[in-house]
Structure 1
């Protein structure tokens, strides 16, 4: 069984474009799993893990049918933290053999071998101190190093100030994350916040030779969910 977040009374499975990271702009089907092992203060999907919204438990076959409803063969596993449910994910993915799969993860749980082989792209978002998480829980350099070694992982960092960028470069070096695999994106949950931060974040990218990630879903739909 898989535990999914619910939105407007339905399991949160929807067709949209990828809003962040190296695949941004790409049409995808999103599957939002419930539960997370962290608790970021600025999380824009906290309802998927903080108990403020109902969840639903479905068999992998039922989830696969809902995913196949959409004429799109790129699937994004997101959350919450999808790897909390990694034991149940292979059964789902075996039912979707034609789908290319991305996984959003916070980089604190190592995927097991079958998922490492099956998933084409890991979008890893390690959390900095401004997330409000204890560093010992949120920063797992051994796991990050192993994910980087797969050459399937890209590392997205949310930044609020230039000191965050400097910290990222130091921490990434310690965890063996290549600079060319790092993306930085503004800390923003509204269009107004994104517009205020975007130009400064681009300036940091230019200064430190890093890749910029926009947040297209916020730019287009604001704080609306399920898009």
Structure 2
């Protein structure tokens, strides 16, 4: 099997999604196929970013050495990594682990429809202010599982209106857990809550990127 370009490995809390606040082992991969205006890991997407070449077995050994059950594969974009399917298969075979794959919504997930319950996808939907909405694959919503999540990072009222439309059009709350999150310093959480009340978005959850409130928003390894 091949090697993976890994730019960070660390243990911290999950800052968002269904296991927010719980300890997790993070594996951050180099490279992304998008360039969102608010991206907080642009450094990991630079062509010359330093990385460690690790095999699937080495990644698994590191995860087990950490002694935590939550694993977050992030980036960059994990699903564009060559042979990522093998790593996911290896990790999912260990039923003591809960594996979360953070993906940006532009990559086809149909090939992962047979994944077991201990593997979840957190899909972004890139809203208009991200500059990347045209790359979103809404056909992915046919492959969502109950353990999955769809995340909307909001920068403006226009973004909120678009998120509401997408949530309703694809009946996302019936398929997965749906989150609204504020692009840090672009819109306040209070503004999002006000909109949720106004539009009676009773099955949608607000989330805060906890790590950005605990540490400096630019700090790595958290």
Common fold by TM > 0.5: yes
Please, which of 38, 41, 44 is the counterpart of residue 42 of structure 1? 38
- How far apart are residue 207 of structure 1 and its match? 2.6
What's 2:134 paired with? Answer: 136
Please, which of 91, 98, 101 is the counterpart of residue 99 of structure 2? 101
- CA–CA distance in 2 between the matches of 1:52 and 1:200? 38
> 2:12 is paired with a residue of what secondary structure?
strand
- CA–CA distance in 1 between the matches of 2:57 and 2:33? 26
In structure 2, stretches of 5+ residues that fail to align are: none
> 1:14 is paired with a residue of what secondary structure?
strand
Tell me whether 1:168 sits opposite 2:163 in the alignment. Answer: yes
What's 2:79 paired with? Answer: 83
What is the aligned residue count?
213
> 1:65 is paired with a residue of what secondary structure?
helix
- How far apart are residue 104 of structure 1 and its match? 0.8
> 2:96 is paired with a residue of what secondary structure?
coil
Retained in 2: the 8 A contact 1:90–1:115?
A: no
Q: 1:220 to 1:203 in 2, by over 3 A?
A: same
Retained in 2: the 8 A contact 1:78–1:104?
A: yes
Retained in 1: the 8 A contact 2:129–2:156?
A: no
What's 1:64 paired with? Answer: 60
Q: Please, what TM-score do these two structures have when normalized by structure 1?
A: 0.83
- How far apart are residue 97 of structure 1 and its match? 4.2
What's 1:125 paired with? Answer: 124
In structure 1, stretches of 5+ residues that fail to align are: 7-11
What's 1:185 paired with? Answer: 181
- How far apart are residue 157 of structure 1 and its match? 0.6
Structure with a larger share of its residues in helix: 1
Q: CA RMSD in A?
A: 2.3
- CA–CA distance in 1 between the matches of 2:209 and 2:121? 17
Tell me whether 1:25 sits opposite 2:26 in the alignment. Answer: no
- How far apart are residue 32 of structure 1 and its match? 0.8
> 2:198 is paired with a residue of what secondary structure?
helix
Tell me whether 1:213 sits opposite 2:204 in the alignment. Answer: no
Tell me whether 1:203 sits opposite 2:194 in the alignment. Answer: yes
